[in-house]
Every structure is written in structure tokens, then in C-alpha cells.
Amino acid sequence: MDVRSQVSMLFHLDKCIGCHTCSIACKNIWTDRKGAEYMWWNNVETKPGTGYPTKWEDQDIYKGGWEKSGKSISLIGSGKLKGLVNIFHNPHLPVIDDYYEPWTYKYSNLIEAPAQDDQPTARPISLITGKPIEIKAGPNWDDDLSGSPDYARKDPNLENLSPAEQEAMFQLEKMAFFYLPRICNHCLNPACVASCPSGAIYKRGEDGIVLINQKVCRAWRMCVTACPYKKSYYNWSTGKSEKCILCYPRIESGIAPACMHSCVGRIRYLGVMLYDADRINEVASADVNNLVNSQLSMILDPFDEDVIASAKENGVADSTIKAAQDSPVYKFVKEWGIALPLHPEFRTLPMLFYVPPLLPVMASLSEQKNKEQLDKLDPIAKKWDDDWLYDTSTEELWGTIDDARFPLQYMANMFSAGDTCKVKDIMKKLMAVRIHRRDKTVGDLDKENVKKTLKDVNLSADSADDIYYLTSLAKFDDRFVIPPAHREQAIEMVENTGDVKGSSGFGFIEKPARGI
Amino acid sequence: MDLLNNFLFIALPYIALTVFLIGTIYRYKGTKFKFSSLSSQFLEGKKLFWGSVPFHYGIMVLFFGHLTAFLLPDVILSWNSSPLRLMILEVSAFIFGISALVGMFSLLIRRKTNPRIEIITSKMDLLIELMLLIQIFFGLWVAYEYRWGSSWFASVMSPYLTSIFTLNPQIDAVSRMPWVIKIHVSLAFTIVLLIPFTRLVHLLVFPLSYLWRPYQKVIWNWNRKKIRDPKTLLNVTRSKNN
Ligand code: SF4
Ligand code: SF4
């Protein structure tokens, strides 16, 4: 057992309001530079939708991630041989138009235009060429399902949905969607690291943050192809690739990453998880329907005596173990089992987990059944479609999940490699928590039924309360449990602190020693 | 004339090699961030294919061909002893030359016609690409006009280059070469001289080591076991990411 610690993240999708504050916080700190204008290390996309870059999930186009080959795995579009052969021209590299051409407006026109008959306008100007452009796409062009059906219908996750289900979704385009905030997953089996010919990308041993050494990157741009989440970006101006650094300077000083700190919906959690690094290869090569389970099984219980002992032996600091025990991410992912990784079938073992959203799934649209209720409705509500209705009745406990208005297969394609059972289990748990809380606060439900609900999903009343607390009431320190970085120890490995004695400050780089 | 020959075949090579050595080492050590192939594929991918691929494969084969002829002239000479084999060598080299020429030409066109690529084009890019274009052109000219280059390279150029590297320059034979060949040789040294000032440095860091390194790479900021061992409190080796 090779116990390592990983700073991992959890996003609670039910809570995301799609405000993009996270993206802006990140952009203002890290990517507000020439060549990086088009990069959104943190982006929020509307689902169903094609995302950023367009259709990034479709690996038939982008060839990212790993695929199974024999007993092991290999990179799909890069790797030692393919990478070196294609180094002069990478056939799978997205171009900037797959993201969008960044632009600004020529605001000075508004002020400086001479007196004329027409209103002066601020024309859009490309941030690459500085010339006027016709804007064809931009970040979140399909936000809130705008641009649909053109955009939503191209969503790769619609695969495996029956035509009827797809049609149902397109009816829903008018009313149901959710937001998917994405950052780099700081994977355990990162494809970006594996694909980098010059070895510029590495995973930090202590906290698992994946970084690109800007001094070693030589613009071979294989990581852009290899990352199936398209979270490694090429800076066209500096000729170096860049990616989310999980705000490591902030994490090292105990502050939450900017996107998480600023999150308006408070959907974001960050904490340490201990895992067994010996099992990475085995887990990444698991059968597709076993991928999620094996990934979850390599995350270790931080309360287990053996795990603690091996962690200590491996040099994991006591404070890190303590942080792992308090980790909110561990609770969501392992203890309660209500979170899943995004697209586990890419086999990079992403360490950013999502609580799938219940709200768009709930409230089935039932046909005909609702005829009589329909008559009671306001005429405006009827405009949708006469036979469909937004049904929030909780009479039948799981009924609403079973004929969910948002096909579970769609969620499953995103979060569990197509396995609907997993998503359904989580939906039921989330629902059970709500039923339990309703019983507690309103008390209008049948007690027996409430008990049965919790039993059905294997939750105790206490855990349900804990889930409720961490979901809805958690304070800053509950959401972000950041281990100390131990730089104070690190420095002794890096330099002899005594060296600096006798140096004067203020501009002396050279030690003021007697000349020769 | 002697003066010119002395300059072209003695002074220029030594200047070029010195500048190349000092320049690239300084650049590698001092301005690492600027050490990059500066790929522009991200801004334009389709036309690049028709330029970059034929150019790179062409120039690589030619470079290693010249290198083999320089290092192992006997091998080339004995290979060339049969006319058929000589023809095979010459014709295939010529084809790779054409490929490099066409590639470089389309790269230059792309550079000048695509507004996005023009933005990231520096003066040095244009200069070096133009020089490479001319160099390949002269190379093809030499190959066509003064047959068979692969044979006389082994008997004339190899001894000359060896004499340069052994610090005992012998330029009698090269001085009597036709001017086309002289230009080709001097241009070659000029390009070597310019390497540290252009993006050509990327050829020095071709990532061959990728072939034998493990796929995953983890860097520890400190040796997690040693740091806890009281006996090795101070260790002054710097960690790789620091
Ligand atoms: S999400 Fe992509 S960039 Fe981030 S670690 Fe995984 S493979 Fe690398
Ligand atoms: S700041 Fe939070 S709530 Fe707003 S879009 Fe980002 S993740 Fe969602």
C-alpha cells in the first residue's frame, strides 16, 4: 500500500445557480493575459449543451483520455509513438475556433467618433489580430439553453437515449437544464502528464496538484489533445501550455482556491483524500462497468488504523491525516456515497466529484394523467403543451425518479459511464434526505413512510441530517478543509537556511563578501 | 579571393560554432521560458499540415544524411560503388529535398497570408525561414548540377569538416569548389550561427527521452521519508520543481 494524499474537490450541482462568478474570479487572477484570453480554467456550461470547447466530451473528435488495450490502457490520441510521430502536426489538436476567437470592442469609437448622423458603435475587435471580426461564438454561447436546439441536440451525452427520450428532452429544452462547472480534475492517472513529450507536466507528490513547468514546456501541445476534459490550454502567444493550478499559492497558505472562495451558490467543497497509489494502474484498467466502484475503492478510510500507520510511514504529515478525517469531500464521496466523478470512462481517475442534480430530474412530466389538474391551471401555464405537466407530487415515493423528466440515462452517461443504477441510487438518497427534512420541519408526511424511505437507501436519520447540514448550512471552514503545506519543513530540504546569514537585504543578490 | 575563402571556410565556421555553443547554452540556462518550438497549429491547423510535415520529415532525413556522410564517409562511398545504389540514394535524397522545399515554401506563404499567423511572426522567424528556403534550394541545385554529391561530399566535405573540428582547417579542396556549393556551405554555417537567436533551438530539445521515461511523473517537494529522519535534517539538494 502506497498511501498518498490528494487535495480533491466536490461540486454540488443542485446548488449551482450558473452565475459564473467562479469563472470570473479565476480569469481575473490567472488568465487575464495575452494569449490566455480564450482560456477558462474554470468554466460553467449548461447541460444539455455542447460545452467548451464545443463537444469536448466527444472523443471521436478530440481523441482525449485513455482506452483499454488488452489488460492495460493506452492513450487514445497521443502517447510515446503517436506523440513523436505527430509532433510536427498533431492531427487531433483543437484549434482556437473550437473554443472561440477572443475579442473586445473598440470603445474609443464611442467617444472619439466625429459628429455624424448615425450613432457611433463600438465594433468587435479580435484580440488575436486586432482587426474587426464577425463574432460567431463566445464563451457560454449556449448558456441557459440559448441557441438551442442547435446546441443542445449536439450534446454527446444524448448517445444511447432512445429517440423518444431524446424528443422528450427537446420538449424540455424549454424548461429543464442544469449547470456543470468544470475545472481541472487533478486526476490520479492524468493523461496530460502521460502525453507530455518533454516531461513538463507533473503531479505534486504532497497534494496531487497537477502542474505544467513553464520552463520545460516546448509547445509540443500533446497535453491539449490528451486531456479528455480539455483542461490543458495552449497559450498561442507565449508558446506554452497552461492549466488550472488549483490556486496552489492560495492552498499552500491555507486559503481556498479563488473559484471556490467566491462561489455564490456555495456548491464547492475542498478536502484531502488518502488513496492507494499502488492501485492506480489496476483501477484505471478496470472494466467499464466497474470503473466507478474501483475508483471509489482505492480511496482509503482515514480512520482505519492500518491506513493511518502506512500513511505515516509514507511520510504523510499528521496534520494532513487529520485534514483527511475532517474532509467534506470524503463524506460526500465515501461515507454517504452521493457523489460521482465526471466521465469516469475517460480513465484518468478524476478527483473532482459531483453530486448529481436532483431538481431537473424530479418533477416528472406525466402525460394525460394530469388532465384533471390541468383544468385548474392558469391559462399561461397551459401554453407549454396541453398534455404535459410539471408534476411535483411526492405521493409515490420513488415514482418521480422512475419516470423522471430528465432521462436518467443522460445523467448516467455523464457521471457513471452509463450505469443508471448508480445515479438512481444517489437520486433516491438525495430525495430521502429531503423527505426526512420535510418530516422534521413540516411534519405532514406519514412517519412510517419516512422511516421506510431512509431504510430503503441505507441512511440513518443522523446521516441524513449531516448531509442536510453540509449541503445547506455548512460554514466556510466546513466546506474547505485545507491541510497545512509544510513549506516550513520543505525549505530545509531545498536550501540551507544558514546560507542567508550575513547577507544584507535591499537589492543584494550576491552575498556581500570581500572581493578578490 | 583567398581572403574570402579564408573568411568563409575558416573564420565563419569558428565564429558560427562558438556563437552557437555559447548562445544555446546561455539561452537554455538563462532564458528557459523562451525555449519553445512556438507552434502555431493552435491558430491554424490545416495549412500547417501541408507545410510542417513535408518540411520536417524532409529536412530531418537530409540532416541525418549529411551527418552520416560526414561521420562515416567510407560507408557512403562503398554504398555508392554500385551505380544502382548510388541512384537510389541520390534520387531519394532529392525527393526529400523537394519535400523540404515545398514544405518550407508553404510555411512561408502561410506565415504571410494568414492574419493570425502574421501576428505571432517575428522578424527572426521570417529571416530564418527565408534562409532555410534558400539553403534547400541551393542544396537541390548542387545535387542536380554537380553529380554525384553523395560521393564527393564524402571525399571533399568530410575531410574539410573533420579538419575544422580537429582545429586544423584544410581548405584547399573546398576553395576550389564551384560558387554554388560555396554558398551552400557558408549558408549552412550562418544558419548554425543563427540557431541560438531563433526558434530553431527547439531542434536541440527534441524529446527523445519521452521514449524511455515512465508515463506518469510525480515530483515531491521534499523527500517525505528523509524529512522525518532526525539524522538527515539538512539536505541541500534542491527539489526539481523549486
Ligand atoms: S483534468 Fe485533464 S489537465 Fe487536469 S489532470 Fe486530468 S488530464 Fe490533466
Ligand atoms: S460561482 Fe458557484 S454557483 Fe456560481 S456558477 Fe460558479 S459554481 Fe455555480
Round to the nearest angstrom and report the end-to-end CA distance of chain B: 55
Q: What would the pLDDT profile of A82-94 be if each residue is shown by its tens digit?
A: 999 999 999 999 9
By residue range, what is the domain housing residue A389?
A: 364-401
Q: What would the pLDDT profile of A2-33 be if each residue is shown by its tens digit?
A: 999 999 999 999 999 999 999 999 999 999 99
Asked if A202's CB is within 8 angstroms of B217's CB, the reply is yes
Q: Which pLDDT value is given to residue A160?
A: 77
User: CB distance from B227 to chain A under 8 Å?
Assistant: yes
Q: Which pLDDT value is given to residue A385?
A: 45
Give A383's pLDDT tier (boundaries 50, 70, 90): very low
Q: Which residues face A201 on adjacent strands?
A: A212
Q: Which ligand 2 atom is at minimum distance from the Cα of A18?
A: 5
pLDDT, average across residues A235-258: 93
User: CB distance from B113 to chain A under 8 Å?
Assistant: no
Contact residues, A window 266-285, toward B, CB-based 8 Å cutoff = 280
A43 C-beta closer than 6 A to ligand 2 = no
Q: Which pLDDT value is given to residue B148?
A: 83
Pairwise CA distance, residues A409 & A154, whole Å: 16
Position B121 in a domain? yes
Structurally, chain B folds into a number of domains equal to: 1
Position B228 in a domain? no
Give A380's pLDDT tier (boundaries 50, 70, 90): very low
Q: Which pLDDT value is given to residue A371?
A: 55
A18 C-beta closer than 6 A to ligand 2 = yes
Pairwise CA distance, residues A405 & A428, whole Å: 15
Which of A38, A82, A89, A222 should be substituted to probe chain B, the one whose Cβ sees the most B Cβ atoms within 10 Å?
Answer: A89
Cell of A328: 467534506
Angle, CA B99 vertex, CA B97 and CA B102 arms, to 5°: 110
Pairwise CA distance, residues A300 & A275, whole Å: 5
Pairwise CA distance, residues A434 & A357, whole Å: 13
Q: Given A129, A215, A316, which is nearest B32 (Cβ)?
A: A215
Structure pTM? 0.89
Q: Which residues face A271 on adjacent strands?
A: A8
Position B230 in a domain? no
Q: Which pLDDT value is given to residue A253?
A: 85
Give A378's pLDDT tier (boundaries 50, 70, 90): very low
Which strands, in side-by-side order, build the sheet including A340-341?
Answer: A268-276, A3-12, A352-355, A340-341
Measure A414 CA to ligand 2 centroid, in angstroms. Answer: 19
- Three-class DSSP category at A461: helix
pLDDT, average across residues B1-28: 93
Q: Is the pLDDT of residue B83 over 50?
A: yes
Q: Which of A267, A342, A355, A479 best tests ligand 2's pocket when mutated (most atoms within 8 Å of CB)?
A: A267
pLDDT, average across residues B211-225: 86
Position B236 in a domain? no
A144 C-beta closer than 6 A to ligand 2 = no
Q: Is the pLDDT of residue B241 over 60?
A: no
Give A168's pLDDT tier (boundaries 50, 70, 90): low
CA atoms within 13 A on the CB side of A48: 32
Q: Is the pLDDT of residue A362 over 80?
A: no
Q: Is the pLDDT of residue A484 over 80?
A: yes
A482 shares a domain with A339: yes
Q: Which residues of B touch A216 (CB under 8 A)?
A: 32
A411 shares a domain with A397: no
Position A192 in a domain? no
Closest CA to B157 of B131, B136, B139: B139
pLDDT, average across residues A40-48: 93
Q: What would the pLDDT profile of B159-190 be if each residue is shown by its tens digit?
A: 999 999 999 998 888 888 899 999 999 999 99
Position A451 in a domain? yes
User: CB distance from A133 to chain B under 8 Å?
Assistant: no
Q: Which of A9, A17, A43, A354 best tests ligand 2's pocket when mutated (most atoms within 8 Å of CB)?
A: A17
Q: Is the pLDDT of residue A186 over 90?
A: yes
**Residue pair A161/A410 in contact by the 8 Å Cβ criterion:** yes
Q: Which pLDDT value is given to residue A159?
A: 77
Asked if B119's CB is within 8 angstroms of A130's CB, the reply is yes
A489 shares a domain with A370: no
User: CB distance from A447 to chain B under 8 Å?
Assistant: no
User: CB distance from A496 to chain B under 8 Å?
Assistant: yes
Angle, CA B138 vertex, CA B102 and CA B86 arms, to 5°: 85
Which of B114, B200, B210, B238 should be substituted to probe chain A, the one whose Cβ sees the most A Cβ atoms within 10 Å?
Answer: B210
A475 shares a domain with A456: yes
Q: Among the three residues A372, A401, A430, which one is the final residue of a domain in this structure?
A: A401
Measure A231 CA to ligand 1 centroid, in angstroms. Answer: 6
Position A221 in a domain? no
A267 C-beta closer than 6 A to ligand 2 = yes
pLDDT, average across residues B63-87: 90
Structurally, chain A folds into a number of domains equal to: 3
Q: Which residues of B touch A91 (CB under 8 A)?
A: 49
Position A470 in a domain? yes
User: CB distance from A442 to chain B under 8 Å?
Assistant: no
Q: What would the pLDDT profile of A320-353 be if each residue is shown by its tens digit?
A: 999 999 999 999 999 999 999 999 999 999 999 9
Q: Among the three residues A401, A420, A451, which one is the final residue of a domain in this structure?
A: A401
Position A394 in a domain? yes
Q: What would the pLDDT profile of B85-116 be if each residue is shown by its tens digit?
A: 999 999 999 999 999 999 999 999 999 999 99
Pairwise CA distance, residues A93 & A128, whole Å: 19
Q: Is the pLDDT of residue A386 over 50?
A: no
Residues 6+ away with beta carbon under 8 Å from A153: A166, A170
A369 shares a domain with A426: no
A441 shares a domain with A347: yes
Position B84 in a domain? yes
Q: Which pLDDT value is given to residue A162?
A: 76
pLDDT, average across residues A477-494: 78
Q: Is the pLDDT of residue A390 over 70?
A: no
Q: Which pLDDT value is given to residue A388?
A: 46
**Residue pair A406/A176 in contact by the 8 Å Cβ criterion:** yes
A409 shares a domain with A396: no
Q: Which residue in chain A is spatially nearest to B115 when comparing CA positions?
A: A129
Nearest 5°: phi and psi at A80? -60, -55
**Residue pair B214/A476 in contact by the 8 Å Cβ criterion:** no
Q: Which residue in chain B is spatially nearest to A128 when comparing CA positions?
A: B116
Q: Which residues of A touch B37 (CB under 8 A)?
A: 218-220, 239
pLDDT, average across residues A46-66: 91
Position A65 in a domain? no
Position B223 in a domain? no
Burial class (CB in 10 A: 0-12, 13-18, 19+), A189: buried
Q: Which residues face A364 on adjacent strands?
A: A391
- Three-class DSSP category at A67: strand
Q: Which residues of A touch B227 (CB under 8 A)?
A: 315, 489-490, 492-493
- Three-class DSSP category at A73: strand
Residues 6+ away with beta carbon under 8 Å from A295: A283, A286, A341, A344, A349
- Three-class DSSP category at B138: helix
Q: Which pLDDT value is given to residue A409?
A: 86
Position B162 in a domain? yes
Q: Which residue has the cell 485534514?
A: A323
Position A339 in a domain? yes
A436 shares a domain with A379: no
Give A252's pLDDT tier (boundaries 50, 70, 90): confident
A428 shares a domain with A413: yes
Q: Which of A12, A14, A20 best tests ligand 2's pocket when mutated (most atoms within 8 Å of CB)?
A: A20
A425 shares a domain with A332: yes
By residue range, what is the domain housing residue B51?
A: 2-206
- Chain A nearest CA to B158, separation (Å): 30
Q: Which pLDDT value is given to residue B147?
A: 84
Beta strands in A97-231 (DSSP E): 103-105, 124-126, 178-182, 201-204, 210-212
Position A460 in a domain? yes
Q: How many beta-carbon pairs below 8 A join chains A and B?
A: 162
Pairwise CA distance, residues A431 & A229, whole Å: 30
Q: Given B41, B205, B227, which is nearest A493 (Cβ)?
A: B227
Residues 6+ away with beta carbon under 8 Å from B27: B34, B35, B196, B201
Q: Is the pLDDT of residue B119 over 70?
A: yes
Position B29 in a domain? yes
Give A384's pLDDT tier (boundaries 50, 70, 90): very low
Angle, CA A280 vertex, CA A276 and CA A281 arms, to 5°: 145
Give A268's pLDDT tier (boundaries 50, 70, 90): very high
Least-confidence region, from A238-242, A409-413, B49-53: A409-413
Which of B29, B35, B39, B201 should be substituted to probe chain A, the one whose Cβ sees the most A Cβ atoms within 10 Å?
Answer: B39
Q: Which residues face A299 on adjacent strands?
A: A275
A348 shares a domain with A284: yes
Q: What would the pLDDT profile of A283-317 be if each residue is shown by its tens digit?
A: 999 999 999 999 999 999 999 999 999 999 888 88
Q: Which ligand is nearest to the CA of A357?
A: 2
**Residue pair B119/A128 in contact by the 8 Å Cβ criterion:** yes
| CATH assignment at residue B42 | 1.20.950.20
Q: Is the pLDDT of residue A447 over 70?
A: yes
Asked if B226's CB is within 8 angstroms of A199's CB, the reply is no
Q: Is the pLDDT of residue A42 over 70?
A: yes
Least-confidence region, from A391-395, B59-63, B91-95, B206-210: A391-395
Minimum CA distance residue for ligand 1 atom 5: A186
Q: Is the pLDDT of residue A501 over 70?
A: no
Q: What would the pLDDT profile of A140-152 be if each residue is shown by its tens digit?
A: 888 887 765 667 7
